Structure 1
Amino acid sequence: MPSSLKRTESPIFIVSSGRSGSTILTWCLGQHPNIIPEEESNWLGPFAIDAAVAFHRGSVRGERGQLSANFIQREELLSGLGQAINELIVSHRRKFEDINLRKQAGWYPPAFKVSRSPEEPKSRWVDGTPEYSFYICSLRKLFPQALFVHLVRDVTDVVRSLLNFFPDGRTRLVANEQTAYQYWLRRATHCLEAEQAYGPGVVYRLRYCDLVERSESTMRSLFEFLGEPYAAECLEPLAERINSANVPANFNERDPRTDPAIMERAKQLSNQLQSSPQIQGNSARIAEKLESEFDHRVQYFLNLERNYNEAQKMITKLQKELEAIKTSPMAEGYRPC
């Protein structure tokens, strides 16, 4: 059974390399009357893999497996779970925006308004988790009609921000300049592959510099992609500075130990994403690659579970053998040195 959600009711995911403005863009979209802002969820990508593992458990026994006996397909199970999650999140909108409930839980109030009036429909939500760059295929299993915004920022700016970002106030997110370039490169590469695999009707590339320098026209184009009317209030969060790394103006990120080949690869890809238009159409070959990677992740956890169970059996067997040795006649009177 395919998902009954329409594209204009399905969630929106902002994917990026991190330190690219995903938080502020999430709040910009969240000012729209029809969009609930969910800053970062983190759990949905791994959950899709867990659900696929669970599908295997429920179908591996053939006619004795509940899912297989009912001829339930994996895609059907995952999209059904996604639809239930979507409905749950939308239905809890009032609690999510209740300031008193947040105070009772000991949480800070949100950075911006979740709703401007109770009459706003807020029938869909936007999630700005940067790590979902690695889970775009997984998220499409849960939400087949979901739309993705690939937010691109110049790699040098991201590296400078990463080197000045301390999530817990003590430990820097990346160890050094080379790690920062690798951090950006992995995520940007995954996002580009998703662009190529699913096409511009599913993944929309948005440059951070356009969001900052040409805010209104950029947001108008984005809302056209999302199938929503433009709302001027969505520009308001851009006047604020949130989740900033506060990079000093005289900060020098250069480290002589950085591998120049890694830096060059990252800068070439960054220039490509900044200056080249998004490719129209989609690549079946790359889509198959992403599908294969998803299946590989699922198989990894299936093997992990299987190996763990085998190890537990081996431990039990060895413990029994040890107990048998301890209680055997030959063991009587024996004392280790």
Structure 2
Amino acid sequence: MKAQRQPGWRRPLAMAAQLRRRMAEPKRLPAPFVVGVNRSGTTLLRMMLDAHPELTIPPETHFIPEVIRRANHENTRRRLIRSITRHPRWGDFGLDESALRARAKQVRPLTAAGAIRCFYELYAAEQGKPRWGDKTPRYMRAMPRIARALPEARFVHLIRDGRDVALSQRERAIGGEATTMTAMAERWQRRIIAAREGATEIRAGTYLEIRYEDLVGDTEATLRLICELVELDFDPAMLEYHRRAPGRLAEMDRDLDNAENGIVRTATNR
């Protein structure tokens, strides 16, 4: 008589297989993921990081959670790539869809992580740089999911004083959200708390909180901390981000937060 297997016996086998695949993968260089509440200076930090000669940060992506979701239910090459190329943000990246598909064909099997990396690697190649990162503030709500898919992710959570964030959001009325100071302050607090709770679910040493006030007040020291997190040598070009080619600055100007011609505009008067 054959021994009966207990319910759930496949799960340990699947976990073991996943572990073996990860151990077989080459060590990947850390990739910075800049997150934070809107109007916290994340675009300024993106400009500084992108000025590094070895690192590029594309416009906000927003598609990673959807790619991961599709991989869990519809793990087919075509659908994974479509979840990137059919995203409303696709046109922001200036990439050729056929080039992404060609790159994805070289990855077998194509997982969510593989599809996502293909996108970033293609973007980095187009920019002539070897490394990539991300700046999508809303990913502060998805850090555990992203960390599971991309172990190389290093989260840089930029936190600006909630009063300044509220003032800035009220001026811009971001996303049609509630604009009373009380509502904005409460929303800021909830999101910071939620992000910190999410950070407890990811591997130690992969999450760093940076104060916006430190970024603008002691820029080099703050950038060196971030470079250490992502195993990247600091480069003085990061301090000269405003001297970038006009075309690159124009591409970033769409969601520019707090920088104009190299002058940081702060609202720190209390």
Question: Normalising TM by the smaller chain, what interval?
Answer: 0.5 to 0.7
In the other structure, the counterpart of 2:155 is: 148
In the other structure, the counterpart of 2:223 is: 219
Whichever residue aligns with residue 27 of structure 2, its letter is K
Describe the superposition over 1:43-93 as per-residue Cα deviations: whole angstroms up to 9, x where unpaired.
Answer: 1123323322336xxxxxxxxxxxxxxxxxxxxx99932133213321343
**1:243 counterpart = 2:263:** no
**1:44 counterpart = 2:64:** yes
Distance in 1, matches of 2:151 and 2:111, equals: 10
Distance in 1, matches of 2:204 and 2:231, equals: 13
Q: 2:214 aligns with which of 202, 210, 220?
A: 210
Q: 2:170 aligns with which of 163, 176, 180?
A: 163
Q: Sequence identity, in percent?
A: 26
Deviation of 1:186 (Å): 2.7
Pair 207,79 (structure 1): closer, same or farther in 2 beyond 3 Å: farther
In the other structure, the counterpart of 1:281 is: none
**1:82 counterpart = 2:113:** yes
Describe the superposition over 1:127-186 as per-residue Cα deviations: whole angstroms up to 9, x where unpaired.
Answer: 11111111111111321221110111111111111111145xxx7443322331233123
Which runs of 5 or more residues in structure 2 are unaligned? Answer: 1-20, 76-107, 244-248
In the other structure, the counterpart of 1:33 is: 53
Pair 39,200 (structure 1): closer, same or farther in 2 beyond 3 Å: farther
**Counterpart of 1:204 in 2: which secondary structure?**
strand
Distance in 2, matches of 1:209 and 1:187, equals: 19
Whichever residue aligns with residue 133 of structure 2, its letter is V
Q: How many residues align?
A: 202
For the 8 Å contact 1:16–1:150, the answer to whether it is kept is yes
Distance in 2, matches of 1:43 and 1:217, equals: 32
In the other structure, the counterpart of 2:187 is: 183
**Counterpart of 1:12 in 2: which secondary structure?**
strand
Pair 48,84 (structure 1): closer, same or farther in 2 beyond 3 Å: closer
Distance in 2, matches of 1:196 and 1:238, equals: 35
**1:91 counterpart = 2:112:** no
Pair 7,152 (structure 1): closer, same or farther in 2 beyond 3 Å: farther
Tell which deviates more after alignment, 126-135 or 234-243.
234-243
Pair 244,234 (structure 1): closer, same or farther in 2 beyond 3 Å: closer
Distance in 2, matches of 1:43 and 1:154, equals: 28
Please report the RMSD computed on the Cα atoms of aligned residues, expressed in angstroms.
Answer: 3.3
Deviation of 1:24 (Å): 1.1
**1:125 counterpart = 2:128:** no
Distance in 1, matches of 2:34 and 2:141, equals: 12
In the other structure, the counterpart of 2:105 is: none
TM-score of the pair, normalised by structure 2: 0.64
For the 8 Å contact 2:34–2:158, the answer to whether it is kept is yes
Distance in 2, matches of 1:245 and 1:232, equals: 18
Distance in 2, matches of 1:244 and 1:211, equals: 12
